[in-house]
Amino acid sequence: MEKRNIIVIGASAGGFEAIKALVASLPADLDAAIFIVWHMSPDVTGVLPQVINQQKTLWATNAVDREPIIANRIYVAPPDKHLLLEHGYVRVSRGPKENRFRPAVDPLFRSAAYIYGPRVIGIVLSGALDDGTAGLWTVKNRGGVAIVQEPNEAVVPSMPENALAAVAVDYRVPIAEMAALLVKLTAETVAETEETDMEEQKKTALETSIAADGHALERGVLALGRPTHYACPECHGVLAAIADGDLIRYRCHTGHAFSADSLLVSITENVEETLWSAIRGVEESIILLNDLGDHYADKNQPKLAAVCFQKAKEAESRADIIRQTVFSHEQLTTNSLRNQAEEAEGAQEAG
């Protein structure tokens, strides 16, 4: 009988301190391999292993492509690289971004679940938006254990909250209790689980391979879901909608992947950028029209100059309208929508 000895951890904003605290509490002889994705800028030096090693518990390194998996070791995704698991070794790749990140949490969780099934323990820590939710769903779907940090103690609770909303999480615990829980879980043998649905298994295998080598179109990514009207924020390709139980997410034919949350954030950000671009264009026309008006006035063409100045005034009015739209534009997330729905329900009950 196998034991639960594959631990995958995902974190973003606020997750650095959470990872440090968790590792500091782990026993040095923990009989498991740990894999960590922490969102970071692609040009940031991968310092997380150095920080972890200062805790003097398990040894941590930035993962190297195709290095063997060893128990009692921590593997950290390097900057700008996805971390994936294979049978007995790791993969490190520059596959398409997921949820606007590389490394992203979902590819790690998904690959671990595909290869190691019920031996996997998935942990979602502090972070913004919902990277890790779809991956944790796959971990749970394939018989693994799903854990989230108690959102009330997370610096940024969105990642744990979104996972709780979409996945039948097994444990919701503060960092202070997580190490003891992992010691308990890694000592247990894996129970027999039902076979995973064959179509679901093929889907997981395909998406894991996309993260590894990026050959999305050739591998049949378009068969994963129904086409939508949305353009990929990364490459502007058509996005397909993919269902994971009650979850909905999106992937384009080049391989970029988005949760509903990350797509909503990207689209609403693009709306603001487009509006500012419109303001810039209108203001450039105002400057040009006023310059032309001055030119025609100098050339003793007052009627033509007056038309230019009038058109500049009209353009100023249009710019003001667009500017008001920018200031009233709302940056949306699924959490903000959920909060607004709860507030509306509360107001209705109070009324």
Looking at residue 120, the DSSP 8-state letter turns out to be: E
Q: What pLDDT is attached to residue 8?
A: 98
Confidence of residue 240 (pLDDT cuts 50, 70, 90): very high
Q: What pLDDT is attached to residue 34?
A: 98
CA distance 225 to 243: 7
What tens digit of pLDDT does each residue of 17-53 get?
A: 999 999 999 999 999 999 999 998 887 777 899 999 9
Q: What pLDDT is attached to residue 286?
A: 97
Residue 336 appears among annotated catalytic residues: no
The larger pLDDT score, comparing residue 46 to residue 294, is at 294
Confidence of residue 196 (pLDDT cuts 50, 70, 90): confident
Residue 342 structure tokens: 């709860």
Beta-bridge mates of residue 73: 33, 59
CA distance 86 to 212: 10
What tens digit of pLDDT does each residue of 88-119 get?
A: 999 999 999 999 999 999 999 999 999 999 99
CA distance 225 to 38: 28
Residue 39 appears among annotated catalytic residues: yes
Q: What pLDDT is attached to residue 343?
A: 84
Q: Where do the structural domains in the chain lie, given as residue ranges?
A: 6-186, 262-349
Mean pLDDT of 271-291: 96
Q: What pLDDT is attached to residue 136?
A: 98
Mean pLDDT (the chain, rounded)? 94
What tens digit of pLDDT does each residue of 131-143 get?
A: 999 999 999 999 9
Q: What pLDDT is attached to residue 331?
A: 83
Q: Which of 12, 126, 262, 266 is catalytic?
A: 12
Q: Which of 106, 130, 131, 244 is catalytic?
A: 131
Residue 131 appears among annotated catalytic residues: yes
Domain 6-186 falls under CATH 3.30.420.40: no
CA distance 206 to 211: 9
- Whole-prediction pTM: 0.89
Q: What pLDDT is attached to residue 193?
A: 63
Looking at residue 101, the DSSP 8-state letter turns out to be: B
Say how many residues make up the chain: 351
